Amino acid sequence: MEKYTIKQLSEGEVAAKNDGTREQTQKLMNLAFPEDDFIISEISFISYSKFFYLSPYSKGRWTHGSKTDLPTQSVEDFLDAEWKPKRGDDVLVKDEVDTIWSKRTFITEIDGCVHPYVTVNSSCEVNFREGLGFGVDNWDEMKQLPFKEPKIEFSVMVNGQETKLSLEKSEWDKLMSLNEKS
C-alpha cells in the first residue's frame, strides 16, 4: 500500500486517523500546518476527534471531526513516510531471521539491495562512536524509533537534602505556566 505524505495532508487530499499519541498527532499537525499554532487539548483528543484534516474554512489551518470522506492513514504512517534517517541516527530494524525490532545505529541505505538498510553491528557501537573501524549488518526493514517527549531533569532542596527529579517537558511547561500565574 502506498503511503500518503504530509504534503497531501496539508493540501487537503487525505486525513489522519486519530490513532497516535497526542504528542505524535500534534507533531504531525505542526509539520502539515506550520502556520496553525493551535494545541490539541486532551479533552478534544480523547472525546470526539476521530480524524484530523485541512480545514475547509480557514486556509492553512487544520480541524478535526468524527467523520470524513477523505482517504485516511494512521498518524504514525504519515510520520514514517516522511522520515529519512541520517548516518548515526538510532533506528529500529528487523529481517526474516531477527523478527523482533532491534535498536541499531543507521549508516546508509543501498537502493536495489535485498537487505537495503545498513547499520552498525551491535558489538561495534563503541568503535563507531569513537571514530574507529566498525562492522555492519544489513536489514530488510527499518522504522523510526517511537517519539518520546523530552524530559526535564532538575534538583530541589528539601530540608537541606537534595532530591533529583524529572518531568516530561509538557508537565514542566504546565508547572511553569502555573508559576507565572501566581
Separation CA 96–CA 40 (nearest Å): 39
Separation CA 135–CA 144 (nearest Å): 22
What pLDDT is recorded for position 169? Answer: 67
Q: Which residues are CB-neighbours of 123 under 8 A, at least 6 positions away?
A: 135
pLDDT in tens, 47-71: 567 888 888 887 778 888 888 999 9
What pLDDT is recorded for position 46? Answer: 54
Written as nine digits, the cell of 84 is: 529519512
Separation CA 17–CA 91 (nearest Å): 24
What pLDDT is recorded for position 39? Answer: 67
Domain boundaries, the chain: 6-82, 90-144, 151-181
For residues 121 and 137, is the Cβ–Cβ distance under 8 A? yes
What pLDDT is recorded for position 104? Answer: 94
Q: Three-state SS for 6?
A: helix
For residues 103 and 89, is the Cβ–Cβ distance under 8 A? no
Q: Where are the beta strands (DSSP E) in 55-116?
A: 62-65, 72-74, 90-94, 102-109
pTM of the model: 0.46
Q: What's 123's DSSP letter? A: G
What pLDDT is recorded for position 148? Answer: 58
* Residue located via cell numbers 526493514: 141
pLDDT beneath 50: ranges in the chain: 43
What pLDDT is recorded for position 61? Answer: 82
Q: How far is CA 66 from the centre of its chain?
A: 24
Separation CA 39–CA 174 (nearest Å): 13
Burial class (CB in 10 A: 0-12, 13-18, 19+), 28: buried
Phi, psi angle pair for 175, to nearest 5°: -60, -45
pLDDT in tens, 71-87: 999 988 888 766 688 89
